[in-house]
Amino acid sequence: MNQFSYQHGQLHVEACASQDLAHTYGTPLYVYSRAQLTHNWQAFNQHLPKPHRACYAVKANGNLAVLQVLAHLGAGFDVVSGGEIARVLKAGGRADSIVFSGVAKSHAEIEYALDVGILQFNVESLAELERINQIAAERGTSAPVSLRVNPDVDAKTHPYIATGLEANKFGIPMRDAVAAFKRAHSLEHVHVVGVDCHIGSQLTELAPFLDAMDRMLALVDELAAIGIEIAHLDMGGGLGVTYDDETPPAVADYIQAMLAKIEHYPQLALYLEPGRAIVANAGILLTRVEYVKPSDKKDFVIVDAGMNDMLRPSLYQAFHRIENTSTHQHGEAQKPCDVVGPVCETGDFLGQERKVKAAEGDILAVFNAGAYGFAMSSNYNTRVRPAEIMVDGNQVHVVRQREQLEQLWQLERTLEL
């Protein structure tokens, strides 16, 4: 299923022409498809009947309308801050559907999570475990915890988004896992409900997932032998999407391979935390060409979206397909171009060495922008962040208004000189 297609000479999002959206709502502009978002969620949900569970990773895209659609579909949520808990609740998500990950949970965040009644904490260190126990004791309650274990598996992805190696900051080293579970089992104000791992993001092969799962199941066996029963195995997220020529496994194959691993563990539920696989291809970024600057070796297509709007290409050297929204400009340009933005950095680009046909005033689409697009945006160079809209058939909803300049300094104060 693909809700972004060319019809009548223009790129459409569901039933809406992208150029009309750009002219009406301005650029840069994030555009999401409700139908694509729903389809992507259902691809996971249909293969994870209860007690298995999928929890959407809010960090990928925390727009309230995105969360609202997923909450309406019955999604769980994986969060990494107290702010993300508040977003989920504001969007209509249930507190008891939230798993709280992250390496640096503060006192205030733990108190908040306990007060609203989240499903569980994914604990990343012994120090965090002790803190949760102390705060739960002060509140006269018991905190549900799953310990995140680092299985030391090479996810074969970009080093900035690899999380399962011993060199990474995440999780408890496998060699210390049994001792950590023993300590958790001994504490009065936490109760162990699961074991958790997450080896990285944008994985396009099954082997790293299954390798990590083998190591985690060996740990489950070792814990059972000493009387510590585990109710669920949380394998995190990380399933990749096709940005260029990647061929990630189908969602069904990914899930069924994991379920096959636990068929002899009837006591175990499988938890997954997809983010990118839910929202990446449900969004595009529309940007207007301001200038075309020729040179001997390549042209520069200068657009109104910059690295502050879409950071991934600059941060990760990530590839996003870029196309002209008008079919009259289809086909390859005679020489390559860099699609660059207005930010005052050489690293401000959306794509390099592309053969995109473009002229001043054209609208370009940056594809697979729904994950880590707006979520990583900033106001660098005193630039307002884009509007976000969601298309639902032929209906358009503004789900975040474009910022205004005055909003950028409303919390600042000048001196009295």
Residues annotated catalytic, as ranges: 344
Give the ranges where 34-176 is alpha helix by DSSP (H). 34-45, 64-72, 82-90, 107-116, 126-138
Cα separation, 378 vs 306, whole angstroms: 10
Cα separation, 78 vs 72, whole angstroms: 16
Residue 276 annotated as binding? yes
Cα separation, 320 vs 352, whole angstroms: 10
DSSP 268: P
Residue 372 annotated as binding? yes
Residue 294 annotated as binding? no
Distances (CA, A) of 281 to 10, 34, 87, 209, 223: 18, 11, 22, 22, 40
DSSP 402: P
Residue 273 annotated as binding? yes
Cis peptide before 28 (omega within 30 of 0): yes
**Beta carbons of 378 and 303 less than 8 angstroms apart:** no
**Beta carbons of 42 and 48 less than 8 angstroms apart:** no
Residue 312 annotated as binding? yes
Residue 345 annotated as binding? yes
**Beta carbons of 11 and 4 less than 8 angstroms apart:** yes
Q: Per-residue DSSP letters for 48-59?
A: --TT-EEEEEGG
Give the ranges where 187-336 is alpha helix by DSSP (H). 207-225, 251-261, 276-279, 312-316
Cβ atoms < 10 Å from Cβ of 98: 24
Which residues are registered as beta bridge partners of 148?
Answer: 196
Residue 274 annotated as binding? yes
Residue 62 annotated as binding? no
Give the residue ranges of the annotated binding site. Answer: 238, 273-276, 312, 316, 345, 372
Give the residue ranges of the annotated binding site for substrate. Answer: 276, 312, 316, 345, 372
Give the residue ranges of the annotated binding site for pyridoxal 5'-phosphate. Answer: 238, 273-276, 372
